[in-house]
Structure formats: structure tokens, C-alpha cells
Structure 1
Amino acid sequence: MNERYLSVIQVAELLGTTVRFPRRLIEERRIEYVKVGRHVRIPESAVRDFISAHTVEPRERSRAHYGRAA
């Protein structure tokens, strides 16, 4: 079991957000988490999965949209 478990503060720093955002993800059960007593920990793999699931890839534009060269 080499999984690393992050605190809410660590997840917020990793995502570049306030602490409120990962807390809201937990409350809405949009991210996997573990309760250890009264402490909440988020597996690092769950953060990676969340990021990859919400990553928007850029669209390729065809050359026809660029217009004609002079």
C-alpha cells in the first residue's frame, strides 16, 4: 500500500484553490476520500483521476479556418 493520502489543505495547494473547493468536492461526494477518525484524507490517485476527468483538450482547427495567405 504505497498510496499517499493528502489533507484538504494539501489538495487545495495542489489544485491552486482555496480550502473550500476540496471540502465542497468531499461534501458533494465528487471525489474519493477516506475518514480516519475525524480527519479526512484524499488519496493522491483520486486527485489525479479528478484532474484527468475534468481536463479539456484543445480542438484541432482545420487550415480552412485560418483564411488565405496573401
Structure 2
Amino acid sequence: MTCIDTAPRPAQRMTPDPILAGWVSRSDLARELGLTEDTLRRWEDRRVGPSCVRAGRKVFYRRTAIEDWLGAQEQARQPHRRARR
């Protein structure tokens, strides 16, 4: 004989996304890019890296800003020129 569970199940609660979903810490970005955190600090000072936001002493980068910045760093490959003799 098979037993069928007919007890009502509690409604599954939707958990909200974490507050920092879509954001990357400076240490995580440095590790991912193979750079030091100091390099990212210098880039921030010179405004050459991806844009970031500060929350107290913490620095975070929006994942889409990182992707946009990386795309902007992409360079078209130049055809190889032979040296003239």
C-alpha cells in the first residue's frame, strides 16, 4: 500500500536578494584580475579603472561597471607590418 502525503505544505518564502548582489569588493576584484589592491587604489586615484563606490572604508565595484570597463580596454588588433629592407 502506498502512502500519499496530502498535508498542506507551507508556502515557500521568497528571500530577497542580498544587498550587495551585483557588487564586487576591491579584494575580490584584485584577486579576479590578478592585481594587487594597491594597484586598484592607484587606478581609483587616477580615475583610470572601473568606477567604484565607498561604504565607509570598504570599496565596491558594480559588476556591470567592471564589464563595461573591461570592454572599453579591448583594443582592435593591428595587422602585423613587415620591416622594410
Range class of TM-score, shorter chain: 0.5 to 0.7
Q: Distance in 2 between matches of 1:7 and 1:41?
A: 5
Q: Percent identity?
A: 24
**Following TM superposition, by how much is the alpha carbon of 1:59 offset from its aligned partner in structure 2, in angstroms?**
3.4
Normalized per residue, which structure has more helix?
1
User: Which residue type is aligned with residue 20 of structure 1?
Assistant: D
What residue number does 1:68 align with? Answer: none
TM-score, normalised to structure 1's length? 0.67
Q: Distance in 1 between matches of 2:45 and 2:74?
A: 22
Unaligned stretches of 5+ residues in structure 2: 1-16
> Is the contact between residue 3 and residue 45 of structure 1 (CA under 8 Å) also seen in structure 2?
no
> Is the contact between residue 8 and residue 40 of structure 1 (CA under 8 Å) also seen in structure 2?
yes
Q: Distance in 2 between matches of 1:38 and 1:17?
A: 20
What residue number does 1:44 align with? Answer: 63
**Following TM superposition, by how much is the alpha carbon of 1:3 offset from its aligned partner in structure 2, in angstroms?**
5.4
Q: Distance in 2 between matches of 1:21 and 1:38?
A: 17
What residue number does 2:53 align with? Answer: 34
User: Which residue type is aligned with residue 57 of structure 1?
Assistant: A
Find 1:17's aligned residue among 5, 18, 35: 35
What residue number does 2:72 align with? Answer: 53
Q: Which has the higher contact order (CA 8 A, sep 6+)?
A: 1
> Is the contact between residue 34 and residue 42 of structure 1 (CA under 8 Å) also seen in structure 2?
yes
Unaligned stretches of 5+ residues in structure 1: 66-70
TM-score, normalised to structure 2's length? 0.57
Distance verdict in 2 for CA 1:57–1:22, change over 3 Å: same
